[in-house]
Structure 1
Amino acid sequence: MTKPALEPAVTDVINGTVITARTPVLLQRALHPDADPAGTPVFGDATWRLAAALPDRHTSGQALTWVRYPLPLRHSCKLYAFALINVVDKAPRLPNARTGVPGIKTLTADLGYLHPFTVWLVERGIRRFGDVGQSDLDSYYNHVTDKTGVSTSWKRKAFIAVQRLHAYRSFLPEHDRLPEGPIWGGASAAELANQPAVRKTENSTLRIQPEVMQKLLSAALLVTDTIAADLLPVAQRILAMRALAHQVSAREQRPRFQGAERNTFSLVHLRRLLCAVTTAGLALPGRRIGDQIVLDHVGFATAGWFDREFLHRNVAGREIIAASGIPIEPGLFTAAEFTQVNDRTWRDGDADAPTVLELLRHVTTACFLVIAYLSGLRTGEALNLRRGCISRDPRLGMVFLSGQQMKVAGARQDRSPATIPWVVTEQVADAVTVLEAIAPGPMLFPIEAIGTRDWIVDGAVSSRRAGSLGRDVPAFMRWFDSAVAPMIGHPAIGTDAGGKIVAPRLRRTLAWHIVRRPGGTVAGATQYGHVHTRIIQGYAGRADAGFLDEITFEEFLLRAETLHEDYQRLRHGEHVSGPAADAYRARVQAGERFAGLAITSPAQAATALTNPDLQIHHGALLTCVYRPTTAACRDDVADGPVWSRCRLTCANAARTDRDIAQLRKHADNLRTDLAIPGIPAPLRDRIRDRVAEHERALTAHETSRPDATPESAQ
């Protein structure tokens, strides 16, 4: 917290609060549980550091530096900022705002776009917001729209900043209120900037190619399940000694002394560490040379936070270690046994302490990929997960993940079993278990590199930054493709045509797989259909989670693409049979009316999906022309076909040539099953009935062709 600056001898009141230099800035904002109330800013500070009011720990601290604002309007800007922060009941709300009260990140960004307005006003000789007239606002509009070298997005945000200042006028002193009435004719910022509203454009996040995502997830699951288990015992011992080393070391980082001064510092650190190791009952790492066990200098230097050369060259240091009497255990900090995958171990040769720490970074990245992808969490929600976030309900057979939801308000932000937002799979729980075995504190993804002082100390209250994943995920892919895949015969992950794989793309890709491949497999074990059920039962099924919007868009895109393909096939002579054949042809031909339809919001996509002409669903052996009144599978929950209750004789069933090819193949497989010796009589009868049912459908399809002959049915 900076020293309070001198404030003008003026008493202002904001929302009932008398403003003085000592007035707390975060008066009405909930503080993060890790925040120190004594360190929060007061009004007179030259810089307001607002990180204490951030709901998450994966974002760098938000700060307002007032010296950059022009002096004549600086106090006015601070009053406005105070109102933005502390007016939480009946706060003014701009059109299209996602929340009733602007978040800390929103308001700091907004004030950044207000800064050009304050500079422009002072240059025109205006010293108070209350002196601004409608003509001044019109001039500023022209100034912004005529500005070159900036994007339309920048212009839109510049207009929003002024509109928000106007919206808060009633909470400001009279001398700091913009003129009454609507400004700029009441037009939206997007209209003023000639830019479509961001929320009304299509989701531009690129999906990861299916074949790349399949291999990436397979690799991540292999790491969290197998490779992590090989590394964790050694890693935990290394990190335990590293934690002791940071506890006993001086607060400053390793000094850059040279010569005698550096040796003196290292000897002091060595004595302190050996004392702590003795108290903790730990051993020192060793290695075998012939029949002798000697100190593992590399391992001890890595875990003990030493200069490696010091242990090699300093005689006094070696004597201190020998005199300590601490046992030396060979292989303590070396991973030497590796699990076989496809009859081959995933690594050749031992992994020393530096290598283990390097591999741990890849392990934590794999854990993030598994957790984020198989749950549908946002990036920040995953990075803010904490120890103990997994719980289970044996009666329901469900695994729950408790965390802090982003973009929600009120009690839903609380992290407690009562507000568990996610239902996840065992693979997610396993990844969390791995992180809990590594993390030094409550955060599962601590900030900074593994084993550093910041990771151990600051990682207790601050999480890894989202930007670091932009480096770590590609690094994980390169490591796996070069070091692991060739060893075990796993296919290389490769590169994605959409470019770098960043965290937000995982969420969009999961939505695609759930819609497009509900029966597909994830790494041969986890079914996308199972993932769909789990996440829809939990957080993703809530209206404000946003994930159902992703699902809705993907379902609409799939339905539209399928309708187009069906229309083209019908035009080129594809035959359709079955009770719903006429309805199928009518709906496909009616699909032409959707040419050029623009879907600009999730609500529009959801509405379009209810159109009867889009109710065509392709299954494994038939096509469902869904109509609820005649559906054999209908229940009170589903708004479409329930494939597990499908009946081949349903009135909604139609069969295309594509379905018939699959039906014929399935009938052949059933005949093969009938040839199995010793098959139980009830099962044999059931298979025979199913074969006969298939044969009737095949015959009906062929004999109903317009050009059918008696021979064509054979």
Structure 2
Amino acid sequence: MTSPHPLPDLVGDLPVTPASLVLHARELHPDTDRTSLSRFSDPTWDLFPALPDRHSPNQAIHWDLYPAPFRHACKLYIFALLNVIEHPPRLAYAHTVVPSVKTIWADLGYLRRFLSWLTERGVTAFADVSTADLDHYLRHVTDDATTSTTIKRKALLAVQRLHAYRSFLPPPCRLPAAPLWGGASAAELAEHPDPRQAENRTPRIHPDVMQPLLSAALLVVDTIAADLLPAARRLIQLRARALQLDPDNIARQRNNTGSRWYCAHDQLALVLKSLADTGHPLPGLRQGRNVTVDLAGLAVAGHVDGELLRKGCFAQLIDGSGLPIVPDLLRTNRFTATGSRPWRHQPADASEIVRLIRHITTACFLVVAYLSGVRTGEALNLGRGCVTRDPKLALIFLSGQQLKASADRRERSPQTIPWVINEHSAQAIAVLENLSVSTRLFPPGKWGSPEWLGSSRCRTTGSINDDIRAFITWFNTEIAPAVDHPVIGADEHGTITGRRLRRTLAWHIVRRPGGTVAGATQYGHLHTQLVTGYAGNAASGFLDEISFEEFLLRAEQLHDDHQRLQHGEHVSGPAADAYRHRVAAGHHFAGRTITTPAQVNTALANPNLQIHHGVLLTCVWRPETAACQDTTTSAGQTGPAWPRCRLTCTNIAYTDRDITEIRSHIYGLQADLADPGLPHPLRQRIQQRLDEHHRVLAEHPAGQPHTHTDPLTGSHP
């Protein structure tokens, strides 16, 4: 007598068998090998194919980590999270209808915590969990004084999600039907601030650190990379070919299986044959008048055991190849001077070039991620051919994977929503395309490894952060002293990471310290470029960064203005009364907590915040009376257009700070007038400007700036 075949479990309307695909309903990345997708019965589920990006670390569920009594039920639950996409339950504050793979992954650790707690209490099935058990777990989590409210919220959220999906699971896998914990959200139960109101706490990189860091990255991209690229390209091409000759032999070397001598002999024989077939010479070294084989370079390029090569074990094999030898094929001997000194004096051999490639790649990342405004993951996911140029528009476009994209934007081609970048970023990407044989510009793994050659993935956020730290140490130790470049100092907020670059760019665009990016590109021009393309789209999130920085700057200035008025600063000009009124009414914004883009935009629209400090005057902006308002070109203008500023405008006020700047400007204009060769029309315009400046000085209280002590710095203006 045969036993009946067991009926499959049902998750919603989906029958689940041991052969069911785990990612049955998920959109998969185009690079996915569909023959290797995980099945329900597998001991490990690989979720990486369902990630839209390639820079995330491997996200695999190892089921042996879960308590055995709950293992099958948890598999069914996670299967439901992944595949129930029609009318799934939605928790409070959820950003998407269906939880993302990253959200599911983030829940797993907290789910295991709940399972361990149940197991310790002798509960071995979800159907056996009582309402009292759930209340005890709530107290267990919330009464822990050593745990932050963030961790408490996430621990409770994992249980709430499990409860929300109960109707999609078989009866033995369901928690009690009663409303969980009175229907309160996890944030309320944990007394955690509303996640939607969370402030962007990513710290900016201090200007005194960012300036030398960007300058260093540009120096490496423009100068050091140019010196090394010829030899580096040959080295990379040879290494890529060597890895493809006999992958099985490479795997044996990697896993230390088989004879070390035979593996090296077979690999070298294949490399020499490949060089002969393609007409390539052997790399060589100059030793006096003789040229010998560069054994170290051949070992690196050919993935051959360098120790055995140096011992001469394969000299007969090399000599018998009959290949010509070209000196310095895989070496760099000449280095460009930066200022009066070259950045390096000793030749760079193949091993050294490999080390320097890592730092060049990091420099390219810093330039691209900072000057383009892209997120760290968006930069790491860039692929070959991502830059295009439009000669008619005179713009350079960067296309790639936009993260945190809504469903409607994901349906569009990345080429239709590109970033607009400057020449520095384009040059950095050109260097990256020379340093990689992969389709990815930031391939994963160690240089020259099989993963580096053929993986569809890219570097992770953690690995690029490690590279940034190594880059700073290398530059400060080896390059800065050699070329008399300022060192990259320690930042007051801690380690420099890729995530901090985007926030820092927004600060620099708004504040524009010194007005330039490493003395090369104006921040105003960079701002115009960025908002032209995808970065200027509200969906990119970059304009939110700009708005936050604009509000912070405006609030700080209002606080400063109020302090100066309190300490006796004079104000003159047609808008002087309006200036004093707005400062008195608006200085309290300096202490307001702003947590959302909507709050920022509302605050920035407040008339009391519309005080804009220029170079020689202050604009108390009022659109109805603004002389710079141009109805034909400035629709939606929300502040002064400084290039169209008119000194007859009734929005102008002059503070003591402005008067100090005007006096300095007068000295410069008077020096220009002293030039006997000055053309008459220009002399007239300068004299007119001097007359206007003198009128302003005469109308300012006491006829001169009030010499008070700066309340912030303790110095005189």
| Count of aligned residue pairs for this structure pair | 698
Preserved CA contact (<8 Å) 1:244 1:277: no
1:345 is aligned to 2:342: yes
Counterpart in 1 of 2:151?
154
Query: What per-residue deviation string (whole Å, max 9, x for no partner) do you get for residues 319-347 of structure 1?
Result: 22122111100111110121222132111
Query: Residue 34 of structure 1: SS of its match in structure 2?
Result: coil
* 8 Å contact kept, 1:519–1:527: no
- Structure 1: which 5+ residue stretches go unaligned? 1-6, 709-714
The CA deviation string for residues 652-672 of structure 1, in whole angstroms up to 9 with x for no partner, is 111101111112222322232
- Whether 1:282 and 2:271 are equivalent positions in the alignment is no
Matches within 5 A, 1:191-210: 191-210=188-207
Preserved contact between residue 567 and residue 588 of structure 1 (Cα < 8 Å): yes
Equivalent residues of 2:656, 2:705 under 8 A apart: no
SS of 1:30's equivalent? coil
CA distance in structure 2 between the partners assigned to 1:302 and 1:502 by the alignment? 31
Instruction: State the AA in 2 paired with 1:279.
Output: D
How big is the shift at 1:517? Answer: 1.2
1:330 maps to 2:331: no
Shift of 1:91: 2.9
2:382 counterpart residue number: 385
Distance 1:707 1:276, change over 3 A: closer
Q: How does 1:70-81 map to 2 (within 5 A)?
A: 70-81=67-78
Residues 575 and 705 of structure 1 are in contact (CA less than 8 Å); yes or no, is this contact kept in structure 2?
no
For the residues of structure 2 that align with 1:518 and 1:627, how far apart are their CA atoms?
A: 27
SS at match of 2:612: strand
Moved more, 217-226 or 40-49: 40-49
Match runs of 1:40-119 below 5 Å: 40-119=37-116
Cα distance in 2, alignment partners of residues 415 and 242 from structure 1: 37
Are the equivalent residues in 2 in contact too, given 1:224–1:431 (CA < 8 A)?
yes
1:403 aligns with 2:400: yes
Cα contact 2:212–2:486 (8 A) shared by 1: yes
Residue of structure 2 equivalent to 1:575: 570
Q: Is the 8 A contact 2:402 2:414 kept in 1?
A: no
Give a deviation string over 1:181-212, Cα, whole Å, max 9, x none.
Answer: 64212222112112223442332222111011
- C-alpha separation between the residues in 2 aligned to 1:573 and 1:84? 64
Deviation at 1:470, TM superposition (A): 2.6
Match of 1:299 in 2: 297
TM-score, normalised to structure 2, is 0.92
Paired with 1:594 and 1:685, the residues of 2 have a C-alpha distance of 45
1:366 aligns with 2:363: yes
- Per the alignment, do residues 212 and 596 of structure 1 end up closer, same or farther by CA in structure 2, a change over 3 Å counting? closer
Aligned position for 2:476: 481
The secondary structure found in structure 1 opposite 2:389 is strand
Distance across 1 between alignment mates of 2:205 and 2:50? 35
Partners of 2:126 and 2:47 in 1: CA distance:
25
Instruction: Tell me the residue number matched to 2:639.
Output: 640
Take 2:441 and 2:483, find their aligned partners in 1: how far apart are those partners?
29
Change (3 A) 1:409 1:88: farther
Say if 2:450 is the partner of 1:465.
no
CA deviation vs aligned residue, 1:501-550 (integer Å, no higher than 9, x gap): 11111111111111111761112111111222222222332223222222
Counterparts of 2:612 and 2:403 in 1: how far apart (Å)? 35
Deviations 1:274-304 (A, max 9, x none): 0011122211111222221111122112212
More displaced 10-residue stretch of structure 1: 138-147 or 247-256: 247-256
Deviations 1:23-77 (CA, angstroms, capped at 9, x unpaired): 1111111111111011111222222111111111111221122233333333222
Q: Residues 200 and 595 of structure 2 are in contact (CA less than 8 Å); yes or no, is this contact kept in structure 1?
A: no
Work out the CA distance in 2 between the residues paired with 1:179 and 1:274: 70
Aligned to 1:547: 542
| More displaced stretch, 306-315 vs 151-160 | 306-315
Distance in 2 separating the partners of 1:177 and 1:70: 17
8 A Cα contact 1:73 1:118, kept in partner: yes
Output the amino acid matched with 1:587.
R
Distance in 1 separating the partners of 2:66 and 2:308: 51
Q: Conserved in 2, the CA contact under 8 Å of 1:386 and 1:442?
A: yes
How much does 1:706 deviate?
11
Q: For the residues of structure 1 that align with 2:208 and 2:389, how far apart are their CA atoms?
A: 32
Which residue of 2 is the match for residue 269 of structure 1? 267
Q: Which residue of 2 aligns with 1:426?
A: 423
Contact 2:253-2:260 within 8 A present in 1 as well: no
C-alpha contact (below 8 Å) 1:22/1:43 kept by paired residues: yes
- Give the distance between the partners of 2:53 and 2:639, measured in 1 at CA: 39
* More displaced stretch, 338-347 vs 67-76: 67-76
Does residue 1:454 correspond to 2:451, yes or no? yes
**Identity of aligned pairs, percent?**
55
CA distance change for structure 1 residues 402 and 587 in 2, over 3 Å: closer, same or farther?
Answer: same
Offset, 1:680: 3.5
Which segment drifts farther, 516-525 or 140-149? Answer: 140-149
Mapped partners of 1:364, 1:55: distance in 2: 23
Separation in 2, partners of 1:10, 1:71: 21
Tell me how far apart the structure 2 counterparts of residues 248 and 416 of structure 1 sit (CA, whole Å): 36
- Partner SS, residue 252 of structure 1: helix
Alignment-mate amino acid for residue 314 of structure 1: G
Residues 132-151 of structure 1 show CA distances to partners (whole Å, capped at 9, x for unaligned) of 44333222212222346543
Q: How does 1:699-714 map to 2 (within 5 A)?
A: 699-702=698-701
**Preserved contact between residue 32 and residue 54 of structure 1 (Cα < 8 Å):** yes
Aligned with residue 602 of structure 2, among 590, 593, 607: 607
Shift of residue 348, structure 1, vs aligned partner = 1.0
Q: How far off its partner does 1:272 sit?
A: 0.9
Equivalent runs, 1:602-681 vs 2, <5 Å: 602-634=597-629, 635-681=634-680
Contact 1:406 1:413 in 2 (8 A): no
Which residue identity is paired with 1:373?
A: Y
SS in structure 2 opposite 1:636? coil
Match of 2:710 in 1: none
With over 3 angstroms needed to count, the CA separation of the structure-2 counterparts of 1:31 and 1:206, relative to structure 1, is same
Tell me if structure 1 keeps the 8 A contact 2:555–2:590.
no
* Shift in Å, 1:176: 3.6
Deviations 1:560-589 (A, max 9, x none): 111111111111111111110001111111
Determine the structure 2 residue equivalent to 1:537: 532
The AA in structure 2 aligned to 1:668 is Y
> Residue deviations 1:457-491, cap 9 Å, x none?
32xx0111211123211221122122222222221
Pick closer, same or farther for the CA change 1:545–1:699 going to 2, 3 Å: same
The 8 Å contact of residues 371 and 422 in structure 2, kept in 1 or not, is answered as yes
1:439/1:413 Cα in 2 relative to 1: closer, same or farther (>3 Å)? farther
Q: Deviations over 1:631-677 (max 9, x none)?
A: 12232133112222222221111110111111222232223233334
Higher mean C-alpha displacement, 285-294 vs 649-658: 285-294
Please say if 1:12 is aligned against 2:9: yes
User: Partners of 2:510 and 2:666 in 1: how far apart?
Assistant: 27
AA partner of residue 644 (structure 2): R
| CA–CA distance in structure 1, aligned partners of residues 298 and 550 of structure 2 | 56
